[in-house]
Structure 1
Amino acid sequence: MLSFRLALGARTDSTWQWDTDRWRRGDSWIRPVVHPALRHDIDNRTGVTTVGVRDVASPLTRSELTDHDRGPENVAGTARGDALLLRIQPGRITLTAGAGGTTPLYLTGDGDILHGTWDLPALRHLTRQSSLLDRAVVRALTRRHRYSSDTLFTGVTTLTERATATFTATGLNIAYPTPAEHVMRARDLRPGVDVTVVLERLLTDALRPWQESKTTLGLELSGGLDSATVGVAASVTAAAPLRSFGLIVDGAVGAEQNRRRTTIASRIGAVDDILRAHDHAPFCASGIRASGAAHDPHGEFYREAFEALADTAARGGVETMLTGNGGDEIMAPRGDELPPPPPQRLTDVSWLGPRAREAVGQIDDNLAPSAVLPTPTLMGFAIHHPAYLRSGIWPVTPLTHPSLIRFAEQLPLELRRGKKLFRDFLTRAGLPPLVTHPRRTEHFRDLMQHGLRHNGLRLAEHLLTDGMLLADQDFIDPDALRRTVQHARRSATVPSVLCDTLVLEIGLRSLQAPDTTPAT
Structure 2
Amino acid sequence: MLRFDLHRDDVTGGWRWQGSCWRFGSSWIAPVRSAALRRESRLGRDATVAVREIRPGGDFTELTLGADGVVALTAGPLGVVPLYVAACGERLIGSWDPVDLASFAEPDDLSPAVVTRLLTRRHRYSTATLFSRITRLTAGATMQWHRTSGLRLRYPAPASHVSEPRRLRWGADPVAHFATLMNQVVHDALDGLRGAVAAELSGGLDSANVAVSAAALSSGQVLSAGLIVAGRAGLAQEIRRRIIVDHLGLRDLTVPANDHLPLSPGGPRTADRTHYPDTDVYQEAFDALRGRLRAAGARVVLTGYGGDEIMSRTPAERPRPTTPPRLPPWLDQHARDALADIDADCSPVTAVALPTLVVFSARHPTYLRAGLWPIAPFTAPQLSRFGRSLPVAWRTGKELLRQRLARTGLPTTVTHPRRPESFAATMNRALRRHALALLADMLERSVLIDRGFVRRTAIAHLHRRARDGGTMPPLVYDMLALDIGIRSMCTAAAAGREGSCASSTPNR
**TM-score in terms of structure 2 length:** 0.94
Counterpart for residue 6 of structure 1: 6
1:177 to 156, 159, 175: 156
Specify the SS of the correspondent of 1:162. Answer: coil
Give the match's secondary structure for 1:3: strand
- Separation of aligned partners in 1, 2:326 and 2:464: 20
DSSP-derived class of the 2:355 partner: helix
Runs of 5+ unmatched residues, structure 2: 497-501
Deviations 1:149-191 (A, max 9, x none): 1100111111111110111221111101110000010011111
Query: What's the TM-score once normalised by structure 1's chain length?
Result: 0.92
2:258 maps to 278
Per-residue Cα deviation, 1:360-396 (whole angstroms, up to 9, x for no partner) = 1110100110010100000101111111100110001
Please list, as runs of the form range in 1=range in 2, the aligned pairs for 1:66-77 lying within 5 A after superposition.
none
382, 387, 390: which is aligned to 1:403? 382
2:342 equivalent to 1:363 = yes
Counterpart amino acid of residue 452 in structure 1: L
Q: Partner residue of 1:54?
A: 52
Aligned to 1:126: 104
**Residues 435, 466 of structure 2: 8 Å contact kept:** no
Change (3 A) 1:129 1:453: closer
SS at match of 1:484: helix
Shift of 1:488: 4.3
**Structure 2 partner of 1:86:** 63
What corresponds to 1:72 in structure 2?
A: none
Q: Relative to structure 1, is the Cα distance of residues 342 and 273 closer, same or farther in structure 2, using a 3 angstrom cutoff?
A: closer
The CA distance in 2 between the partners of 1:510 and 1:197, in whole Å, is 50
Change (3 A) 1:499 1:345: closer
SS in 2 for 1:272: strand
* Distance (Å, rounded) in 2 between the aligned partners of 1:493 and 1:502: 15
Contact 1:488 1:495 in 2 (8 A): no
How do residues 383-402 of structure 1 correspond to structure 2 at under 5 angstroms? Answer: 383-402=362-381
Match of 1:209 among 172, 182, 188: 188
Q: How does 1:431-510 map to 2 (within 5 A)?
A: 431-464=410-443, 466-490=444-468, 493-510=471-488
Distance 2:186 2:324 in 1: 38
User: What amino acid sits opposite 2:490 in the alignment?
Assistant: Q
1:380 aligns with: 359
* Corresponding residue for residue 247 of structure 2: 267
3-state SS in 1 of match to 2:285: helix
Change (3 A) 1:147 1:519: closer
* Structure 1 residues 120-199: aligned runs within 5 Å: 120-128=98-106, 131-168=109-146, 169-199=148-178
C-alpha separation in 2, matches of 1:345 and 1:303: 22
Choose the corresponding residue for 1:311, options 291, 297, 303: 291
Does the 8 Å CA contact 1:40/1:52 hold for their aligned counterparts? yes
Contact between 1:130 and 1:155, CA under 8 Å: does it hold in 2?
no
In structure 1, what residue type is equivalent to 2:28? W
Deviations 1:74-122 (A, max 9, x none): xxxxxx3201111111221111111111112101111121111011111
Task: Report the 3-state secondary structure (helix = DSSP H, G, I; strand = E; otherwise coil) of the residue aligned with 1:30.
Answer: strand
**Residue identity in the other structure for 2:219:** A
- Displacement of 1:484: 2.5
Per the alignment, residue 226 of structure 1 pairs with 206
| 1:519–1:400 CA distance, 2 compared to 1 (3 A) | closer
Given the superposition, is the C-alpha separation of residues 156 and 352 from structure 1 closer, same or farther in structure 2, using an over 3 Å criterion? same
Deviation, 1:213, is 2.2
The separation in 1 between residues aligned to 2:162 and 2:411, in whole angstroms, is: 33
Q: In structure 1, what residue type is equivalent to 2:46?
A: V
CA distance change for structure 1 residues 242 and 489 in 2, over 3 Å: closer, same or farther? same
Q: Matched residues in 2 for 1:519 and 1:153: separation?
A: 18
Question: Which consecutive unaligned segments of at least 5 residues does structure 1 have?
Answer: 59-79
Q: Which has the higher relative contact order, 1 or 2, with Cα contacts under 8 A spaced 6 or more apart?
A: 2
Distance in 2, matches of 1:479 and 1:253, equals: 36
Which residue of the partner structure matches residue 236 of structure 2? 256
Root mean square deviation of aligned Cα: 1.7
**Equivalence for 1:424:** 403
| 1:236 pairs with 2:216 | yes
Offset, 1:221? 0.5
Measure the CA separation in 1 of the matches of 2:402 and 2:346. 35
Contact 2:271 2:485 in 1 (8 A): no
Equivalent AA in structure 2 for residue 174 of structure 1: L
The separation in 1 between residues aligned to 2:457 and 2:192, in whole angstroms, is: 56
Percent identity of paired positions between Structure 1 and Structure 2: 39
- State the Cα distance separating 1:518 from its structure 2 match: 9.1
Amino acid at match of 2:5: R
SS in 1 for 2:49: strand
Give the conservation status (yes or no) of the 8 Å contact 1:183–1:409. yes
**In structure 2, distance between residues paired with 1:489 and 1:346:** 24
CA drift at 1:343: 4.4
Corresponding residue to 2:73 among 85, 91, 95: 95
The secondary structure found in structure 1 opposite 2:9 is coil
Distance between the aligned counterparts of 1:129 and 1:496, measured in 2? 25
Task: Tell me the amino acid that sits aligned with residue 456 of structure 1.
Answer: A
CA distance in 2, matches of 1:225, 1:139: 29
Kindly indicate whether the alpha-carbon contact (under 8 Å) linking 1:8 and 1:92 is maintained by their aligned counterparts in 2. Answer: no
Q: Once the two structures are superposed, what CA deviation does each residue of 1:280-335 show, in whole Å capped at 9, x if it has no partner?
A: 11112341113721111111111111111111111111000011111111101011
Q: Aligned partner of 1:145: which letter? A: H
Quick one: which amino acid aligns to residue 123 of structure 1? Answer: L
> Counterpart in 1 of 2:499?
none
Instruction: Report the Cα distance in structure 2 between the residues aligned to 1:11 and 1:323, rounded to whole angstroms.
Output: 38
8 Å Cα contact 1:350-1:481 kept in structure 2: no
Aligned length: 495
d(CA) in 2 for partners of 1:490, 1:128: 35
Taking the aligned partners of 1:492 and 1:243, their CA distance within structure 2 comes to 41
Contact 1:227 1:323 in 2 (8 A): yes
